[in-house]
Structure 1
Amino acid sequence: MQTECSLIEIAIVGAGMAGLTCAQQLHQAGYDVVVFDKSRGVGGRMATRRAQGTWADHGLRYFEDSPEGDLTALLSLLRDRGLIHPWTDHVQELGPDGQLRPSRDRHPRYVAALGINSVAKFLATGLTLHREHRVSAIAPTPAGQWHLTFAPPTPDVQAPDPVLAKILVLAIPAAQALDLLAPVPQIPGESLAALEAVTFDPCMTVMAGYRPHPTLENLDWQAIALPQDPLLSWISLESSKRSLPAAPVLVLHSSPSFAAENFDAPNLTEAAHALLQRAASVLQISYWQQPDWLQVHRWRYAIPQQSHHDRALAATQPAPWICGGDWCGGEGLSSAYRSGFAMAHQVNQWLEGRPLKGEQAWMDLVSEKL
């Protein structure tokens, strides 16, 4: 059966920032790269939900640079090309006294005119990418390759054909990488222990749309952080990300504790309304409790709490594999970005050591798009 599978050079599982960065580096160096993602789209938490003629970013809230300037070049390129624009240089913060105050953390936050996911689509330009391909199992072959099998995307659809790959890149949360690697007896025990040590906080995101209302016309904030609230961690007026007038859209992020308690609740709508009621209470805007439409999304691996100390985790036994993501070397988008480059560098060393383009790769994408 395995001899009938198609053979690829590099299989990358996961099409978030880390996976796409790694894939572009290796693809533009001339390697045979195929990206597999379990979702219908690309981007991971660079996610945009479209509903009722509008949209909401329900994962990554905005783009921002790291203190070290890891994303400076990429953000400058995206801004110069009109893919992102400034949103706000500060957010409000709800204090323990219930009062809103400007956050001391002032720096540019950027958003995309068509939603954050449009940037992920740009980063995926030119890649061979298979969506709705959930890897169900991996196994080494006697020839030192990886055999990947996939789960059916839906119960009434046949599973995608298995593939063989010389090198496996797992650009997914550590727990998901562990699920795939742990059943393989030859995986080094210290690698499994390192994956087990990584922990994440969950999050529930509520997207709610409203009809225009006088209460909403004079709001003096775009987003509010709630670091001490038991239910909420974030409130954003999502419609403020667009320059043209739009129907109001609110996005709420739950606190980790609320998400943990309600993640598997049988009725997510009840949990969503609890978050809306909390937002209405703390902001004294009762109208928030009466949305025209409502959607909920759950992120099991939203925010790394205990990260891996290096930018990637790799081994050559029983065949070359490497893991990475926002849980490597820190947390957040910049960590995923650095991890993508680190994984590409290691894979390149395992192969032919070709010149990698670094951030010039994004400039070449612009030329390709044009």
Structure 2
Amino acid sequence: MQKPSVLIVGAGIAGIACAQALHRAGVSARVIDRGHKPGGRMASRTVNGRTVDLGAAYFTAEPGSGFADVVAGWVGHELARPWTDTIAVAGPDGIQRSSTGPMRYAAPGGLRGLVVDLARGIDVEQGVTVEQVAAGEVDGQRYDTVVLAMPDPQARRLLDAASTLREKLDDGSGWGPSIAIVLEWASREWAPFHAAFVNDSPDLSSLADDGDRRGDAAPVLVAHTSAALALKHLDDPDGAIVPVVDAVRRLLSLKDAPVQSFAYRWTFARPTAQHAEPFLLDDGIAVCGDAWGERSSVATAWASGDALGQAIAAR
């Protein structure tokens, strides 16, 4: 008998976690992705000769969870490290207080490297574009199951117009955009902080000290814009740099402007509402990701992909 085959579209952490779960169960799985490297929204880019995290700022792991075991492996191999349990809370004019919560983990080599590590032993092909997905079929090629490991709006666009699954997926109105702005100074001029949530700002939603989280003390900050500012500049991400620079300098009371900057657009940065189920699986098509679970996070994305892989294998 022919072995069951699964095609996973999307090489972010959800897609790779799904592939690993299938691999453990002895089910053949292939991962394809239109990007150049695995990672998805755990993206890292080389900016001015240095790796910078542009997507997720960090990740957490619930003690005793399957993802905690994965994280322990990363920490043991020095791919990840405990970063901080304290996050600043800021307003438009400065940091107001700090909030203590679960340990946040960072990756000295960039978060993308963690997905690459998780993908070891998996058949992953990059630079592949998919046009249309029907039940058990991708661009005319048959599979037992097709997994769309991506944001709802992107998955919905790939589905055949007659698919009943389309109505179970968000059309994009429930997802917020963001633009990541990398800002490099000549030297570290700000008071120490790890990362900050920014409230009531028309331009900023969060700010992270990338030199602090990477552990190399580089004078680099990564800001994520508000959804409102991102919407204004989706076609021109660089247009968001000036208002973000002004907002960051005001927030941290910085005298000098950054010496270099870089903008990266996330059209579907995060869901504004979550699916109650851990994944969608019906009629030979499945969807998983960080929108499938209690809250949007790296841990949720991994858990969604892992649970889906186990469910497909059980079939």
TM-score greater than 0.5 by the shorter chain: yes
2:150 corresponds to which residue?
Answer: 172
Q: 1:196 and 1:235 mapped to 2: Cα distance?
A: 28
2:55 maps to amino acid: G
The 3 A distance-change label for structure 1 pair 207 and 95 is closer
Does the 8 Å CA contact 2:32/2:128 hold for their aligned counterparts? yes
* Selected match of 1:271 from 240, 243, 252: 240
Q: Is residue 2:268 matched to residue 1:294?
A: no
1:76 corresponds to which residue?
Answer: 72
The SS at the match of 2:199 is coil
The SS at the match of 1:107 is strand
Q: Decide which structure has the larger Cα Rg and report it.
A: 1
1:252 corresponds to which residue?
Answer: 223
1:125 maps to amino acid: R
Q: 1:281 and 1:244 mapped to 2: Cα distance?
A: 25
* Selected match of 1:309 from 249, 253, 276: 276
Q: Which has more strand, going by share of residues?
A: 2
After superposition, give the CA deviation of every residue in 1:188-240 in whole Å (9 maximum; x if it has no partner): 2xx32221367211111001222226x35xx2212221022111011112111
Deviation at 1:68, TM superposition (A): 8.4
Task: List structure 1 runs of 4+ shifted beyond 6 angstroms.
Answer: none
The SS at the match of 2:101 is coil
1:332 maps to amino acid: S
TM-score (norm: length of structure 1): 0.78
TM-score (norm: length of structure 2): 0.91
Q: 1:196 and 1:182 mapped to 2: Cα distance?
A: 15
1:355-366 alignment, distance < 5 Å? none
1:124 corresponds to which residue?
Answer: 119
Gaps of 5+ in 1: 1-6, 150-161, 351-370
Does the 8 Å CA contact 2:91/2:201 hold for their aligned counterparts? no
Deviation at 1:102, TM superposition (A): 3.7
The SS at the match of 1:104 is strand
Does the 8 Å CA contact 2:186/2:258 hold for their aligned counterparts? no
1:212 maps to amino acid: S
The SS at the match of 2:292 is coil
2:109 corresponds to which residue?
Answer: 114
Gaps of 5+ in 2: none
Q: 1:274 and 1:197 mapped to 2: Cα distance?
A: 29
State, as a whole percentage, how many aligned pairs show the same letter.
Answer: 27
2:285 corresponds to which residue?
Answer: 321
Deviation at 1:321, TM superposition (A): 1.2
2:181 maps to amino acid: V
Does the 8 Å CA contact 1:204/1:254 hold for their aligned counterparts? yes
Does the 8 Å CA contact 1:194/1:308 hold for their aligned counterparts? no
1:75 maps to amino acid: V
